[in-house]
Each structure stands twice: as structure tokens, then as C-alpha cells.
Amino acid sequence: MHSVEIKNLDLHFGAVKVLQDLNLTIARGEFLVLLGSSGCGKSTLLNCIAGLLDVTAGQIFINGANVTWAEPSDRGIGMVFQSYALYPQMTVEGNLSFGLKNARLPRDEIARRVARAAEILQIEPLLKRKPAALSGGQRQRVAIGRALVRDVDVFLFDEPLSNLDAKLRADLRVEIKHLHQQLKNTMIYVTHDQVEAMTLADRIAIMKDGKIMQLGSPHEIYNLPQNRYVADFIGSPSMNFIDGRLESGVFRAAGIDIPMTGYDFRAGAASDGKVVIGLRPEHIATGDALASAAIRTRVKVDIVEPTGSDTLIFAPLGGTSVHVRMDGQTRVNPGDEIEIGILPGRASLFDRDTELRL
């Protein structure tokens, strides 16, 4: 049985169509990340699942039950918000138990659940404090605890780490992953941070303009982007795109020909015409890796950006400027000429009109 199932979901605010004919099924225990830039409808979709927004059309099932018209509290979900949304006048304990008191649970049951959540999240010493006396990381733990005590099957996270500083974000990210492995709940997680998405997700749904552009494992999303938008969105620094033509299996652009041997074309997609090739900066071979590259060419280095672990260079190629990721120990200066290699098997080809993968 699916944990969450969304069928033909539409949501309009007046004339604005925020979500359009959206379909999504999420397996039990899956960690699904909704990823997209702001305004793509990912938070709106989460609010629809939570029941905080009325849908315009379509259905939502949670654990096989049609909850399209159900109250948020009756859907078997817990939700964690970006701004924590802790009740400022209540203690941590009051925050954790508020929902349980509303559900009229017996007092010893409430105490038991609060104690368990506090133990899992290691917030026991904070139970008597008010939210104002907590740090950002502690507040977010309490917010997660509030979802935890509800003993639900589905957790919804709405950009929970966006308000935290970088170090804390990385720590709490690991904790959320750990929590998922421990609890094995279904989790739906909204973020605009692709690192969070890649590290946490079992599957990622990349959204744009209220539609899912691609749904797949992080590995698929990264290696086999189905369209140019996804290819551009995932990866940092982002993929290089070179405009050219495909002529009987050979990609031709200004000053470079790349025979696409080893590229896995879709059935019937390898027609000649205007295409764009996508090369990830880390998939352009330099140094020792050159040996494995089928096509090699020499380029002149324009700009060098050392980051410590890697060194990024800009170099002109095929009529545009490409980013190349080199080993951090390489010594390279602007104006140097270096040899780079391209692996057609790792590249992505898109039709220039439809922007779909070939």
C-alpha cells in the first residue's frame, strides 16, 4: 500500500494556477524531497497534503484513506515549519503536549510520549523552558518533537533548516537522516537546497511552475537529467551547456567535434538537428584522468578559482566559456594552456527546442 498518493491535483489562487494536474505516489517509509526554486509550488503542495489549503481539484490519499476533505489533525501527519512555529507562551513541554491534549489523550500517555520524543531528540533538559530561551537548533528540535509525539506515519518538513547557520544545518541534516533510519516513517521534505535534497532523499521530485519536472533517485537526477531545467538546477557549479548540431551521431560545435560513442540515446531519439550538450564540470577530465577520455582538446585558462579541495577554472570551449573542476593540488595560472578530455558517456544531450533529453 502506498503511504501518500496524490491524484490529478490542481490548486488555483484565482486565475493563478499554482499546481496543475499533479500526480505523485510515495511508498511507505520513503524519504521524498520536493526540490525547486521559490515559487515553484513545492510548499503549496506540502500544505495541500497537510490539509492547510483546500485543493481546487483532485484527490489526496494517506495510508489508503481519502483525506481530501479531512481536517489537518485527522490526516495522520506531523509537520515541521521553517520558522519553527513554536507557541511562544508555552514551555517546551507545553508545546509538545498541546496536540495530544487537544486529542484528549490520557495524561500518562501524554507524559510517556513527551518523554520518548525528548529522549530521541535529546531535549530533556529543556522541557521547562520557553521557546524564547532556546537557540535556533534547539527550537527546531522541539518543532520536530512536536511532530514526533503525534505518533503519525507521515512527516512533512517545510524547509526546516533554512533559518539555521551553515554548521548547524549540516549537523541537523545528519540528525534528520538518522531519525528517518530509526523511525522508518514516510517523510516529505521541501527544500530549495540541492545538497539537502541529494543527501537526504530516497527520491527527489524537482518542481517548476507547479509541475514535477523529474522524479527519481538522487543518482538518476544527477546522472540522467530528463530535461535541461533539471540538468541546470542540480549540480554546483552547474552544468556547462554548449550549443551545437547533432550529425549522424557526432556533436559539432564551434571548433570541436564530439563523436557520441558510448552515449545512451533514448530509443528513436538520435535524430539529427539542433541540440545542446551538457557537461558537468567534474566530468571534464584533466590530469591523470585524461587517459580514460575519448576526446581530448587543449584550452587556454581564463580564470582560476581555488576552493581548497578543488580548483575551478573557466576556459573557452565550443563558442562558450566552460567551468572545469580540477584537483585542488593542481597548480594552474590564468593564461596557461591545459589539456582537457570529454567523456561522451557522462554527457547529456538535449533537444534545443523541446529541451528534453535525447
- Nearer to other proteins among residue 78 and residue 216 (C-beta): 78
DSSP H/E element including 219: helix 218-223
Evaluate whether 326 touches 332 at the Cβ level (below 8 Å). yes
C-beta of residue 12 within 8 angstroms of C-beta of residue 18 = yes
**Contact criterion met (CB below 8 Å) for 349 and 258:** no
DSSP state of 266: P
Kindly list the distances between the CA atom of residue 309 and the CA atoms of 69, 234, 237, in Å, as whole numbers in the listed order.
52, 20, 14
The interface region with other proteins, picked from 19-27, 31-39, 67-75, 160-168 by CB under 8 A, is 67-75
Q: Which is nearer to other proteins, 118 or 284 (by Cβ)? A: 118
Which of positions 69-128 make contact with other proteins (CB under 8 A)? 71-73, 77-79, 81-83, 85-89, 98-99, 102-103
Q: For residue 320, what are the CA distances in angstroms to 276, 317, 357? A: 12, 6, 21
Count, residues near other proteins per rule CB under 8 A? 24
| C-alpha–C-alpha distance, residues 43 and 189, integer Å | 9
22 to 51, contacts with other proteins by CB under 8 A?
47, 50-51
Between CA 168 and CA 250 the distance in angstroms is 48
Smallest separation, CB 342 to other proteins (Å): 48
Site for other proteins in 206-265 (CB under 8 A): none
- How far apart are the C-alpha atoms of 225 and 232, rounded to whole Å? 9
- 8 A C-beta contact, residue 223 and residue 348: no
User: What is the pattern of x (binds other proteins, CB under 8 A) and - over residues 139-158?
Assistant: -------x---x--------
203: amino acid identity, one letter:
R
Nearer to other proteins (CB atom), residue 102 or residue 309: 102
| Shortest reach from residue 16's CB to other proteins, in Å | 16
Nearest to 7 by CA among 78, 77, 73, 67: 67
Compare residues 66 and 83 and give the one whose CB is closer to other proteins. Answer: 83
Of residues 51 and 344, the one with the C-beta less far from other proteins: 51
Q: For other proteins, which is the closer residue by CB, 99 or 318? A: 99
CA-nearest of 58, 28, 335, 311 to 185 is 28
Tell me whether residue 51 or residue 318 sits nearer to other proteins (CB atom).
Answer: 51
- List, in sequence order, every residue forming a beta bridge with 323; answer none if it has no partner: 314
Shortest Cβ 254–other proteins spacing (Å)? 51
The CA angle 181-183-186, to the nearest 5 degrees, is 90
Q: Is the Cβ of residue 85 or residue 312 nearer to other proteins in the bound state? A: 85
Q: Give the whole-angstrom CA distance, residue 202 versus residue 219.
A: 10
Contact positions toward other proteins, by CB under 8 A? 47, 50-52, 71-73, 77-79, 81-83, 85-89, 98-99, 102-103, 146, 150
